[in-house]
Amino acid sequence: MSRKITIRVPASTSNIGPGFDVLGATLSLHLTLTATLSPTLQSVSITYTGNNPHTVPLTVLDNLITRTASYIAAVHNVSLPPMDLHIDNPIPLGRGLGSSGAAVVAGVILANQACQLGLSKDRMLDFCLVIEGHPDNITASLIGGFCASYLAASVEQEHRELHELEKSGKLIPKLNGVANGSVGLPVPPIENIGRYVRLPLSKAIRAVVIIPKFELSTKLARSVLPDVYPRADVVFNLQRLAVLTSALCAEVPSPDIVYTAMQDKIHQHYRQHLVPGLPQILALTPQDLPGLLGICVSGAGPTVLALATGNFEEIGAKVQGIWTSSVGADGKPIESEVLILDVLKDGASWESVDL
Ligand SMILES: Nc1ncnc2c1ncn2[C@@H]1O[C@H](COP(=O)(O)OP(=O)(O)O)[C@@H](O)[C@H]1O
Ligand SMILES: N[C@@H](CCOP(=O)(O)O)C(=O)O
């Protein structure tokens, strides 16, 4: 019998100022994956529409979605069944809106559905976390809402080991080997490594995201961060993070409190040389732009997130204007796109229909 699986995974914005690797919010922009499984098919084929259609690999062990799904299948001693897979992805790649997190979530759900593994949402979260390595964007995309999260136990170690295996080329041969039935299985992550709470974000808040035309890989943006921080900077972030989580949940959020609580000293400053114009953008205040609550880098950047209760177009245009008068790495003004998005309560969803 043939089967059609449809999976929708939302984009995310994470960090939200002081909440580096902690805070994430689900955005109203979705990746849609459609898989048609049929006994008449011989292999997994992939087609892609959406952002950066020429750079996304379409081979199973290179594409992040199918590579993730292959790993999950291999852990369970099965391989992905033949299917026609179509990815429609409007989430811009390498911009700090969680495209890789959404792809990993989609891959885990795909394996769970296609191979009928019966994994719970929390177990799927374990797999997503061990692949992505940090919980903020993954939790927002899979679980949904305005989330605060952390990793329990030694997941960071497991994440490093998985990537060491991948770097050394051992993971993919293992997966190939599993498909041929000849080698041992990759090890599953330990159970229950994700911890999160969903916070009741004020209904008045919308997310204005200003997306520049250039990419910044999360890997690069993480590599410029120091290993050790001055105590005063850590305390600065902790104080603001605690206040921010509550201030953003007030029925009528205070721009004065949110704006100062969205300041950060542990990631944005270290990344600012990768995003021209950033200091000037982050200096915009609610006094300059009524309706603005706070402004920060979205995820690992380079997108800027403005949380606001009104005046959305003007806020977007102001940031766009600063980028137009800044010079990018190619010596040209930085072009950008503005999206005004909602923070959604729901994360990924899926359905499977017999044809
Ligand atoms: N839908 C997708 N299908 C396949 N690969 C994807 C998809 N989305 C993201 N990726 C991979 O993830 C990379 C971007 O990840 P990353 O640097 O973490 O940026 P982001 O901030 O967008 O998550 C892309 O270059 C691509 O390799
Ligand atoms: N906390 C991470 C978030 C990365 O999010 P992404 O949307 O850029 O993938 C970080 O800041 O590195």
Distance 335 CA to ligand 2 centre (A): 22
Helix extents (H) in the chain: 64-75, 99-114, 121-132, 136-142, 155-167, 171-180, 218-223, 231-247, 255-261, 268-271, 278-282, 312-324
The span from the CA of 121 to the CA of 142, in Å, is 8
Decide whether any atom of ligand 2 lies within 6 Å of the 98 Cβ: yes
pLDDT at 130: 84
pLDDT at 37: 97
Write the pLDDT tens digit of every residue in 43-75. Answer: 999 999 999 999 999 999 899 999 999 989 988
The span from the CA of 95 to the CA of 26, in Å, is 15
Angle (nearest 5°) at CA 301 between 268 and 271:
35
Decide whether any atom of ligand 1 lies within 6 Å of the 298 Cβ: no
The answer, yes or no, to whether residue 170 has pLDDT greater than 80, is no
Write the pLDDT tens digit of every residue in 69-103. Answer: 998 998 898 999 999 999 999 999 999 999 999 99
| Mean pLDDT along residues 208-224 | 96
| Mean pLDDT along residues 319-337 | 95
| Mean pLDDT along residues 117-124 | 96
pLDDT at 167: 60
The span from the CA of 61 to the CA of 66, in Å, is 7
**How high does pLDDT run on average in the chain?**
92
The span from the CA of 355 to the CA of 352, in Å, is 10
Domains and CATH numbers, the chain: 3-195+344-354 (3.30.230.10), 201-341 (3.30.70.890)
Lowest pLDDT segment from 38-47, 190-199, 250-259 = 190-199
**pLDDT grade, residue 159 (50/70/90)?**
low
Decide whether any atom of ligand 1 lies within 6 Å of the 100 Cβ: yes
pLDDT at 1: 86
The predicted complex's ipTM stands at 0.98
**pLDDT grade, residue 178 (50/70/90)?**
very low
- In this prediction, what percent of the chain has a pLDDT beyond 90? 82
Q: pTM for the whole thing?
A: 0.93
Residue of 87, 99, 141 to test ligand 1 pocket, by largest number of atoms within 8 Å of CB? 99
With beta carbons less than 8 A apart as the criterion, state whether 315 and 308 touch: yes
Q: How far separated are the first and last CA of the chain, in Å rounded?
A: 7
The answer, yes or no, to whether residue 169 has pLDDT greater than 60, is no
Decide whether any atom of ligand 1 lies within 6 Å of the 297 Cβ: no
- In this prediction, what percent of the chain has a pLDDT beyond 70? 90
Angle (nearest 5°) at CA 77 between 73 and 79:
45
Distance 186 CA to ligand 2 centre (A): 26
Decide whether any atom of ligand 2 lies within 6 Å of the 135 Cβ: no
Residue owning tokens 């305390």: 235
Instruction: Pull the structure tokens for residue 183.
Output: 């080698």
Write the pLDDT tens digit of every residue in 251-276. Answer: 999 999 999 999 999 999 999 999 99
**pLDDT grade, residue 168 (50/70/90)?**
low
Distance 97 CA to ligand 1 centre (A): 10
